[in-house]
């Protein structure tokens, strides 16, 4: 003990070893870049890849049992729920590094701190997934957010990137303030920030008005992070202005982390509000699916299409959340949480794959972002065209892809919770989404190439090719043989339910 500080038990440190590995890795990359500025940035990328791979292997080997116990004075829990999400985060970060190497060099923004910031963002995600205390949730949220603010404005020579970083920072600061004020109100109502203690207090004393106000503010904070309507306004501009490799990482990582914490807080700490919460979240889900899909139809920039697509997919995940927190049978809640976890993984690999194809196409040294620029490219580059077709089909929710099964599981769980109207909205908006996803495919194969299309070049190197192969394979595997992943997701909910049952 030093000045009142007591080191945590070694068993607690072992339990959070993957988070520690990624944290130390970020410091190593940052120091290596500072001490040896002439070191190849590819070497830093390779160090990051190796470290993330080690963390991923350690995380897989550390699969906890059903009766996982909280650690670090009940502020963190290393259950199978956090375990599943951590694998999604680490896999997403690893693929994002693969996407970034060549892109950063071509854009002239290859600096060592990029990889350190990406790793710190990943740490923030892992903290959010495992947190059982609202203060720790906020800590993870800020570690994630501050790193992403910097990454969004990382291309300092581009005005649109600087604008994206500033917009994200200003609006994100407001959202963080809402979240923190919500935490303060919940503490005022329950005298605790621990999720299990809050749940116990709610069961004993009922829902205090302060608690309801605090829960509403938490919805605002989480809603901003996962980009649900009406907290989505930052998304298209930030996604378009940020460097494309950052947009790819942001579109999947921040959303997955937001839902990981969102679902844990409302299922574990506020089960007494489940009926009212489900009603509010159902309205937000319907609005998000409608707004995201219908506005995406009007877009002609591929990054803006994927931005509004990201909003729509947040709506689909919210459908699963409605079923997960609805006071229905335990079996249906099990199915709902498993569906949300599976969909998170499916969306992560599919969306990263789509961005990998976007990164591959260049014209006169610049990215091909306008939809008309994709005319004829499917025939000119058959492998990339086939990959983009696969990813668009998966995002649209068509078989035999991961996206199809993900939506099927989500809608089935919502039907089990009695949310037939919400499922109808989800199905109809999915039909709308087919229009703009197929628009990309139609242009690649059926539109007459424009004269400038002859200048389009696509030579994915080893890093990008590996990312494309990995994401395409996972998109198909999850769509054809999803059983093992679904089983792991269901085990995650069982562990989650055990935590709540200890009350």
Residues 278 and 256 in one domain: no
Compute the CA torsion angle 402, 405, 406, 407 (nearest 10 deg): 130
Residue 262 lies in a domain: yes
2 is a domain residue: no
Decide: 362 and 107 in contact? Cβ < 8 Å. Answer: no
Return the HEC string of 437-487.
Answer: HHHHHHHHHCCCCCHHHHHEEECCCHHHHHHHHHHHHHHHHHHHCCHHHHH
Do 126 and 230 have their domain in common?
Answer: yes
Residues 309 and 255 reside in one and the same domain: no
pTM exceeds 0.75, yes or no: yes
Q: How far apart are CA 258 and CA 237, in angstroms?
A: 20
Does 301 lie in the same domain as 157? Answer: no
Give 366's DSSP letter: E
Neighbours of 241 (CB within 10 A): 24
End of a domain among 269, 289, 308?
269
263 lies in the same domain as 275: no
Give the distance, in angstroms, between the CA of residue 428 and the centroid of all CA atoms in the same chain.
24
Q: Do 263 and 285 sit in the same domain of this protein?
A: no
Both tokens of 501, joined, read 């049952």
Distance CA 410, CA 399 (A): 15
DSSP 224-292: HHHT-TTS-TTHHHHHHHS-HHHHHHHHHHHHHHHHHHHHHIIIII-GGGHHHHHHHHHHHHHHHHHHH
Boundary residue ending a domain (235, 269, 303): 269
Q: Is residue 8 part of a domain?
A: no
Question: How high does pLDDT run on average in the chain?
Answer: 85
Spatial CB neighbours of 13, under 8 Å, sequence gap ≥ 6: 20
* Domain presence at residue 503: no
Q: Quick count: other Cβ atoms within 10 Å of Cβ 203?
A: 11
Which residue range is the domain that position 371 belongs to?
A: 271-498
| Phi then psi dihedrals of residue 363, to 5 deg | -140, 120
Alpha carbons 291 and 129: distance in angstroms, whole number: 28
Q: Backbone phi, then psi, for 364, in 5-degree steps?
A: 55, 40
Are both 87 and 230 inside the same structural domain? yes
**Is the Cα dihedral 186, 275, 503, 225 positive or negative?**
negative
Q: If we measure between CA atoms, which residue out of 468, 467, 462, 466 comes closest to residue 386?
A: 468
With DSSP H G I counted as helix, E B as strand and the rest as coil, what are the percentages for the chain, rounded to 5? 80, 5, 20
Question: Is residue 1 a part of any domain in this protein?
Answer: no
pLDDT (0 to 100) of residue 49: 93
401 DSSP 8-state letter: S
Q: In the listed set 223, 241, 269, which residue is the last one of a domain according to the structure? A: 269
298 and 175 belong to one structural domain: no
CA–CA separation, 21 and 118 (whole Å): 14
- Please tell me whether residues 121 and 237 are part of one structural domain: yes
In a domain, 7, yes or no: no
* Predicted pLDDT of residue 293: 93
pLDDT per residue, tens digit, the chain (503 aa), is 444 556 566 677 777 889 999 999 999 999 988 887 777 888 888 899 999 999 999 998 887 765 667 777 778 888 888 888 999 999 999 999 999 888 888 888 888 788 999 999 999 999 999 888 899 999 999 999 999 999 988 888 888 888 888 889 888 888 889 999 999 999 888 888 888 888 888 777 767 788 888 888 998 898 888 889 888 888 888 998 889 899 999 989 889 999 999 888 887 777 666 666 778 888 999 999 999 999 999 988 899 999 999 999 999 999 988 888 766 655 667 788 888 899 999 999 999 999 999 988 877 667 777 888 888 888 888 888 899 999 999 999 898 889 899 999 999 988 888 888 999 999 999 999 999 999 999 988 887 776 665 566 677 778 888 999 999 999 999 988 887 887 787 777 776 666 555 54
Q: How far apart are the first and last CA of the chain?
A: 32
The widest CA-to-CA distance across the chain, in whole angstroms, is: 72
* 308 and 246 inside one domain: no
Instruction: Kindly state whether residue 331 falls inside one of the protein's structural domains.
Output: yes
pLDDT at residue 503, as a whole number: 46
Which residue bears the tokens 């609005």? Answer: 287
The Cα–Cα gap between 134 and 188 comes to 13
205 vs 181, 193, 209, 301, CA distance in Å?
22, 16, 12, 52
Residue 451 has what pLDDT?
65
Q: Assess if residue 3 is contained within a domain.
A: no
Q: Quote the pLDDT of residue 1.
A: 47
Task: Indicate whether 155 and 144 sit together in one domain.
Answer: yes
CA distances from 146 to 117, 141, 164, 184, 305 (A): 9, 9, 13, 21, 25
pLDDT (0 to 100) of residue 365: 66
Q: Is 62 left (phi over 0), alpha (psi -120 to 50) or beta?
A: alpha
Q: Which residues pair with 76 in a beta bridge?
A: 71, 131
Q: Are residues 263 and 372 in the same domain?
A: no
DSSP secondary structure code for residue 371 in this structure: G
CA distance 236 to 451: 29
Residues 6 or more apart from 466 whose CB is under 8 A from it? 98
Alpha-carbon distance of 107 to 484, in angstroms, equals 40
Query: What is the spatial distance between Cα 392 and Cα 373, in angstroms, rounded to a whole number?
Result: 17
Provide the pLDDT for residue 55: 93
| Structural domains counted in the chain | 2
Q: Are strands 76-77 and 70-71 parallel, antiparallel or unpaired?
A: antiparallel
Q: What residues contact 410, with CB distance under 8 A and at least 6 apart? A: 316, 317, 319, 320, 323, 336, 339, 340, 343, 426
Mark 475-491 as b/e (b = at least 16 C-beta within 10 Å).
beebbeebeebbebbbb
């Amino acid at each position: 003990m030093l000045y009142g500080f007591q080191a945590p038990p070694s068993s607690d440190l072992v339990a959070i070893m993957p988070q520690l590995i990624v944290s130390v890795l970020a410091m190593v990359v940052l120091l290596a870049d500072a001490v040896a500025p002439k070191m190849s940035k590819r070497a830093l990328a390779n160090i990051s890849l190796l470290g993330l791979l080690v963390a991923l292997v350690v995380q897989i080997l550390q699969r906890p049992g059903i009766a996982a116990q909280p650690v670090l004075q009940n502020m963190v829990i290393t259950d199978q729920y956090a375990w599943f999400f951590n694998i999604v985060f680490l896999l997403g970060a690893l693929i994002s590094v693969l996407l970034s190497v060549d892109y950063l060099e071509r854009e002239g923004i290859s600096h060592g701190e990029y990889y350190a910031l990406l790793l710190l963002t990943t740490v923030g995600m892992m903290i959010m997934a495992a947190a059982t205390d609202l203060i720790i949730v906020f800590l993870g949220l800020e570690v994630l957010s501050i790193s992403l603010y910097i990454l969004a404005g990382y291309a300092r020579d581009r005005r649109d990137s600087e604008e994206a970083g500033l917009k994200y920072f200003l609006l994100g600061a407001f959202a963080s303030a809402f979240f923190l004020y919500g935490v303060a109100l919940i503490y005022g109502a329950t005298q605790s920030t621990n999720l299990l203690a809050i749940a116990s207090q709610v069961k004993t004393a009922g829902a205090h008005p302060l608690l309801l106000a605090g829960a509403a503010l938490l919805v605002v904070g989480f809603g901003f992070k996962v980009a649900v309507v009406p907290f989505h306004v930052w998304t298209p501009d930030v996604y378009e202005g940020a460097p494309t490799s950052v947009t790819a990482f942001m579109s999947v990582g921040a959303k997955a982390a937001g839902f990981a914490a969102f679902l844990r807080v409302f299922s574990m700490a506020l089960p007494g509000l489940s009926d009212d919460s489900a009603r509010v979240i159902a309205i937000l889900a319907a609005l998000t699916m409608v707004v995201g899909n219908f506005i995406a139809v009007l877009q002609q920039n591929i990054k803006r299409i994927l931005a509004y697509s990201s909003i729509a997919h947040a709506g689909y995940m919210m459908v699963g959340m409605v079923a997960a927190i609805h006071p229905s049978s335990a079996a249906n809640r099990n199915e709902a949480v498993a569906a949300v976890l599976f969909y998170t993984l499916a969306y992560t690999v599919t969306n990263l794959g789509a961005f990998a194809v976007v990164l591959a196409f260049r014209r006169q040294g610049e990215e091909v972002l306008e939809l008309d620029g994709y005319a004829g490219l499917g025939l000119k580059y058959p492998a990339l065209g086939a990959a983009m077709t696969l990813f668009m089909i998966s995002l649209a929710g068509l078989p035999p892809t991961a996206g199809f099964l993900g939506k099927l599981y989500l809608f089935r769980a919502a039907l089990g919770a009695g949310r037939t109207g919400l499922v109808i909205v989800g199905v109809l908006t999915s039909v709308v989404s087919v229009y703009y996803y197929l628009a990309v495919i139609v242009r690649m194969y059926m539109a007459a190439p424009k004269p400038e299309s002859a200048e389009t070049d696509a030579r994915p190197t080893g890093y990008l090719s590996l990312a494309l192969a990995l994401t395409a394979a996972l998109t198909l595997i999850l769509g054809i043989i999803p059983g093992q992943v679904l089983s792991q997701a269901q085990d995650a909910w069982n562990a989650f339910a055990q935590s709540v049952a200890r009350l």
